[in-house]
Amino acid sequence: MEKDGDKIKVTEEEASNKTTPQGVRWVLGISLFLALAVMTFVWIIPALTTALK
């Protein structure tokens, strides 16, 4: 980071702070899978129970 009078110059790497932990990707992937699984069961189980009556 450099200061030039009233302006502050920041590199792209400093501005974006590109460090994202790998755990975030795993949590997002697992939660997406679980959400799809729950939505599928909520849809299939009532459909099966009405079809078997």
What is the full per-residue pLDDT of the chain (53 aa) written as tens digits? 677 778 888 887 777 776 667 888 899 999 999 999 999 999 998 888 888 77
Q: Which two tokens stand for residue 31?
A: 């939660």
First to last CA, the chain: 70
Q: What is the pLDDT of residue 50?
A: 86
Q: What is the pLDDT of residue 48?
A: 86
Beta strands in 7-51 (DSSP E): 7-9
Question: Count of residues for the chain?
Answer: 53
Would you kindly state where each structural domain of the chain is located, as residue ranges?
Answer: 20-53
